[in-house]
Each structure stands twice: as structure tokens, then as C-alpha cells.
Homo-oligomer: A and B are copies of this chain.
Amino acid sequence: MNMVLLETVEDILVIDAGLMFPEEEMLGIDLVLPEITHLLTHRERVRGIVLTHGHEDHTGGLPYLLQQLTVPVYGSALSLGLVQDKLREFDLEADLRPVRPGDRVGLGEFQVECIRVSHSIPDALALAVQTPAGLVLHSGDFKFDPMPIDGNLTDRDRLAALGNEGVLALLSDSTNADRPGATPSESAIGPTLEQLFRAAPRRIIVACFASNIHRIQQVLDVAHRLGKRVAVNGKSMTANLRIASELAYLKVPPETLIRLDELRRLPPEHGVILTTGSQGEPLSAIARMAVGEHKQLEVEAGDTVVFSARVIPGNEQSIGRTVNHLFKRGAHVVTEATCPGVHVSGHPSQDELRLMLALTRPRFFVPIHGEYRHLHWHAELAQQIEKPPEQIFVLEDGDILDVRPSGGAVVGRVPAGRVLVDGKGVGDVGETVLRDRLHLAQGGMVIVVIGFDKTGAVVAGPDLVSRGVTDPPDEALFEQARQLILEVLDGISVEEKTDWALIKQRIRSVLRKFLQKTIERRPMILPVIIEV
């Protein structure tokens, strides 16, 4: 989870406050947040939060953090615009302070300088933080895009100047540390889109991330150039388009945008739909169109569907399935797999990572952003260009790295768990709930209800109720199980009659063995005893 703390004895500076999307075994979980115990314990030292850019994995934890900690939040205009929209959903007011590339902000003992970088969202920043121990450079998410859509190049001169002045530590983006070469420019997408748009005999549907404003700009520009009209679909796509236009990050060409219902009245060869759902999410517009369950839109034979986004690991099956359905409807489907030019990454590949290291020549190097293997590969790359291993720190969440001109070392840990969000609950789903949900998911459940009177005599049941075990519930099987439970109850001695825990334990044990033997399944078995 993307959140870095810089600390002196006096002050704490927070860089980013991201969230994570749940891993596949986090059943029923909506979001994952970083634990902030350490921040709350030392709340009086926290001087502020600085955002490198507006992606949710860097800002999505903010609403939760700001509910517990009142501190100013610094970020570029677009980052704050997107954050503000989110805070409104939470009914939160915050002290948001816009910064621009070149700005310097004093926060306690820290002096933060904002440096322009290019990325897959406009207005992204690297942060050069002057600390009592020396300069710490945080790359944010970046790439060295040679031809960014808005013309805003990563400020390589300033990075080099910092290298000359002396960088104590570089923290740098590792997301693509396994990719050789350099990441292509975002502007390479436009010509590919234009080719696809020109070849398309009918309606065009483009799915991309709602935050990819430069991608959206290119879709709008190409459509405008070819005399096509664009309708926007999806809540976040609509919101981001509005915010980015208001803040002038997006230049909507005249007479290009129309409403979805207007688009439906156009000849199909004139219409472009810009939509979310690039990950094949089952409830997204595009997945619903693919199976003919979208209220307003239908995909018809000859339509072109472009997935202009990366596949987030774990979504291969849902995207694949959506593509299958679209093909069945006779659509022409374009994905990165068959048309690599349809998407480029916003993160630096190995050549760019080497360039960042070469420009800034840090004394210490800390790979950040990515899973452990990406950090490892990034560290390996630094070693290949002669960075001594003792100056490289591959950290895990919570590690405390002490850096000073005389040396660096991991000196301890702060609490750094994952806080799971399920509905309105933050942190009330832990190991037990997840284990129970997994058990229920794998095997369903069998409930055994028994009524005892005060003497311990059975006056009702045992009744068995099952869900998620067999289809339909296997009456004969459960009648056998009932008989086994009756035997258990018969075998209970007089002294044990009120020991409900023991009775439940025996029922569970007998039933577990019985179901394992008969159907080889392991439903959750839940004896419920009530006293009448």
C-alpha cells in the first residue's frame, strides 16, 4: 500500500495515503487500507500529507485517515480535485492545499519541493524533501515519456541538478522493474486509435481507466478529427471527465460530446462510447453489453470494442469471458494481447529506472511501489549498474529505515497491518471472519437445531438445515445424519446433559466424519441448542 512516512524526532511527513484492492481470498472485502496506528499514536508530530498524484492506490486511504487525523493535504490541482470528489461522498471537509511543480513547502523540519513527472494521470509529482539528514527524493509514479500528451515532460534537468547537489536517498517506482527497454510514449496510442477508428464500420466502444485523462483526450481528439461523436458511460468516467475539464486538464473538442440517448439516435458509424469496465467487471457497462443485459446499449455485429488498458492480475478470467461474449455477438474486439499498440504503461521500464538512478546518483536506494518481487528486481537492476548492495534497502511494510550521511540501516518496525473494509465496517473483518467465509464458500453449511428442556431432555429436533451443500438438499442423506445425531444424544450421560459445548462438539465430530465418508465434503457444521 502506497504510503511513506518521513520522520525526524520532531516531525512526521506523510507521502501518499493509498488503498489496495482486495486479493482474491479476501472474500467479501471492498477495500484494504494501511494500518495507521503509528500515525495516530504520534498524531501531534504529523505536519501534513503530500500526494504525488491522484490515483486511488495513492489517495484512496485519505477519507479514512482524515476521519481520524486532521492535517493539511498537499497535492496538484487535479489530485486534489479528485480527492475532493471522494471526500464529498464521505461528507468530509479537509484542508486541501494545491501545489505546482517548482513549489516549495515547509512542513516542520522538512522542506518539500514538487517536481513534475509524466505518468498515466496528468499533474503527477516527484517530491524532493530536504531533511536534517540530507535530501530524500521520492519519485512518485513516473515515466520518462518523451512526448507526453500535455507536453509536460518529467523534469529531468531538475532531477540532474538534485543529483549534483547530492541525494541522500532515492525512493523510486518499481512497478515495471521486470520490463526491459523504455516504456513507449502515451502519444503512441493516438495513431493506433485513429487506425482502428478509421477501419471501424460501425459504432466504437473504448474501455479505459477513468483516471487516464490523456487516453480520454486522445479518444476525444481522434473522434473529433473523424467527425464522430462521443458519449461517456460509467460513474467514475463521467465524474473524472467533469473534474478534468473544469480544471482544464482535458480539452473537450467542440461538438464532440453527446449524451448516451442522443448517441443511440445517431447512425452507428458516427458514434463512439467511452466507458469504464476495462477489467471485465461483471457489473460494468461493457460486461453487461456483452451479455445483452445493458438497459440502454447493445453491442451489434460489426461494432468495434477496444480495451485500452492493462489487465490487472486476477482479472484475466473476467476480461477473457467478456471478450468471448463480444465475439459471439459479432463484434470486433481489440485488446493489448492481439494489438499491443492499444495500451501503454504509465510506469518506467528498466532503461528509465537506470536513467533515474544515473541522474540522481543517490547514496541510498530504496525501491518502492510494487510487490516484493518488483522491489527485488529493481534492487537487482541497481546492483547491475554498480550500486553496492549495502546501499540498497528492500523494505517491507512497517520497516523503519534510518538514513544519515554516515550510513543507513533498518532499525526497527512500526505496526503495519492491513485493515479490511467491508461495507461500513473498517477493521471489523479479521482472520476469523475470512476463515469462516472461506469455509462457507468451499463447502456451504449444515445447521443442527435441538431444543432441550431444563432437565436436558430433547423436546424439539434435531432439525437439519443446509445451504450450499447439495442441489437439491439430499433428504435421505440428512435423514441418516439425523439418526446419527440422535445416537449421539442417546449416548450423552446424565452428568453431561447440560454441557452444551460438549454436545455440540460431539455432533460436529460425528457429522464431519459422516459427510466426509459419504459425500467427501466439509461444510461448516453449526449445532444450535436452545433451551425451552
| A interface residue numbers (CB < 8 A to B) | 23-24, 27-28, 178, 313-314, 316-317, 320, 323-325, 327-328, 333, 337-338, 371-373, 376-377, 396, 422-425, 428-434, 436-438, 440-445, 447, 449, 451, 459-461, 463, 465, 467-472, 474, 518-521, 524, 526, 528, 530-532
Contacts and interface: CB of A to CB of B under 8 A. Distances in A.
Nearest to A313: B316
Contact of A470 (B425, B459, B467, B531): B425
Sorted nearest first, the 6 A-B pairs with minimum C-beta distance are A423-B520, A441-B441, A440-B440, A436-B468, A324-B372, A430-B471
Given A320-B371, A371-B320, A440-B441, A471 B532 contact: no
Looking at chain A's contact residues, the main secondary structure is mixed
Most B CB within 10 A of own CB, among A323, A424, A436: A436
A27 B178 CA distance: 33
Copies in the complex: 2
Given A327-B373, A437-B441, A437-B444, 8 more contacts: A28-B521, A320-B373, A333-B373, A425-B520, A433-B470, A436-B468, A451-B530, A463-B528
Nearest to A318: B24
Contact of A432 (B422, B471, B531): B471
A467 B451 contact: no
A280 to B, nearest CB: 12
Nearest to A462: B530
A513 B310 CA distance: 38
A37 to B, nearest CB: 17
27 contacts: A28-B521, A178-B337, A178-B338, A314-B316, A320-B371, A323-B373, A338-B377, A422-B520, A424-B520, A425-B470, A425-B519, A429-B471, A433-B469, A433-B470, A434-B468, A437-B440, A438-B441, A440-B444, A440-B468, A449-B530, A451-B460, A451-B532, A460-B530, A461-B530, A463-B528, A465-B526, A532-B532
A421 B373 CA distance: 36
A27 B442 contact: yes
Nearest to A377: B338
A472 B465 CA distance: 24
Contacts of A372: 324-325, 327-328
Nearest to A333: B373
Contacts of A474: 428
A327 B423 contact: no
Nearest to A421: B520
Given A373-B320, A377-B338, A528 B442 contact: no
Contacts of A23: 317
Nearest to A518: B424
A324 B373 contact: yes
A459 B424 CA distance: 35
A440 B524 CA distance: 11
Contacts of A377: 338
Contact of A460 (B313, B441, B532): B532
A429 B470 contact: yes
Nearest to A322: B373
B460 A521 contact: no
A459 B532 contact: yes
Contacts of A520: 422-425
Contact of A317 (B314, B327, B333, B429): B314
A107 to B, nearest CB: 33
Nearest to A327: B376
B433 A468 contact: yes
A463 B451 CA distance: 12
B28 A444 contact: yes
A200 to B, nearest CB: 16
B443 A28 contact: yes
Given A373-B333, A440-B468, A317 B424 contact: no
Given A451-B530, A467-B436, A24 B27 contact: no
